[in-house]
Amino acid sequence: MAEEINSTEQKPCKYAARCTIAEAMLIFSGCLVAFVGVSLLGLSIWSLAWKLLAYSYFMDIITDPTFFNIPAALIGLPSIFLTIAIRRNQFSHLLIFLVLQMIAIVLLFTGYSIGTKYKLLGNDDILRLGPTVPTNLLNNTLYDVIQTYEETLENNVTLDGIQSKFGCCGVINIYDFGNLSLGIPTSCCPNSDCNQGIYPWGCRRRIQENVAWHTNVTLSITQLLILMVVSTKISCILFHNPKIVYVLVLQCRERIHIRLLQMTSSA
């Protein structure tokens, strides 16, 4: 009878000792994936809304990386619940978890590659807000808007909106409005009051800086989420195979030992 009591008392201890690190890593990784997923989701929605309002006149918004980051972030949200289910040995949820994580990784890498392309091409010589919109075409578009600023209400509203939102004036500088009979638009001035001064920067530069900022921040969060997804997978493997680390360490030590022996014998 005493032996049975001792055996029943030892089992929880063994189970707790076996699962302490693995379960902690699994739950912690799931929480991080969910947290970073929420952060990426909020950032992507905010970035997309900003770009739709600011760039819709001349940007191919459909190819923006946020279209891939938003669904990937949504997939990351249930990670914490799936990791808890895996912890409770509900193995039917494991396949769902792995499939969702693989889809998230594909979406993240797709958005990351597009964002990296924007980042590499976002310089003074070649600025691509869309996949086929170089700087000269962007300049021509803005110059066309300026030339028809007094004639077309749509271009008037568009240019005023861009200049007010980005705090810029003209394409390169204020001298782009030299041929206008009305002079410099009030949208070139802070709070539409030119007595307070005129924005010194052209809109091309401000748009360029804004695209670079959005791209860099989104890529940073995307990299973090990719890292969290991979760490969650590793934690899941460790949870179901707690001895795998010990085996890998032994294999590495054995290979290092063999390598040292070979070097010693050759010397």
Separation of CA 101 from chain center: 16
Cα separation, 47 vs 11, whole angstroms: 52
Residue 97 lies in a domain: yes
Three-state secondary structure call for residue 134: coil
Domain that holds residue 49: 2-131+207-266
Residue 141 lies in a domain: no
Residue 225 lies in a domain: yes
Residue 153 lies in a domain: no
pLDDT of 255 over the 70 cut? yes
pLDDT of 123 over the 70 cut? no
pLDDT of 234 over the 70 cut? no
**At 71, phi and psi to the nearest 5?**
-65, -35
pLDDT of 201 over the 80 cut? yes
- Output the DSSP codes for 53-113: HHHTTT--GGG-THHHHHHHHHHHTTHHHHHHHHHTT-THHHHHHHHHHHHHHHHHHHHHH
Domain count, the chain: 1
Q: Which residue has the tokens 């300026």?
A: 146
Residue 247 lies in a domain: yes
Highest-pLDDT range among 77-81, 127-131, 181-185:
181-185
More confident residue, 174 or 20: 174
Residue 83 lies in a domain: yes
Residue 7 lies in a domain: yes
pLDDT-derived band at 120, boundaries 50, 70, 90 = very low
Average pLDDT over residues 79-94: 62
Predicted local confidence at residue 148, as pLDDT = 77
Q: What percent of the chain has pLDDT over 90?
A: 0
Residue 177 lies in a domain: no
Write the pLDDT tens digit of every residue in 16-71.
444 456 566 667 766 777 777 777 777 777 777 776 666 655 555 445 666 666 77
Q: How far is CA 80 from CA 29, 32, 70, 83, 87, in A?
A: 8, 8, 18, 5, 11
Torsion sign, CA atoms 215, 158, 62, 69: positive
Average pLDDT over residues 79-106: 65
pLDDT of 154 over the 70 cut? yes
Helix or strand (DSSP H, E) at 14: helix 2-55
Tokens at residue 74, please?
């949504």
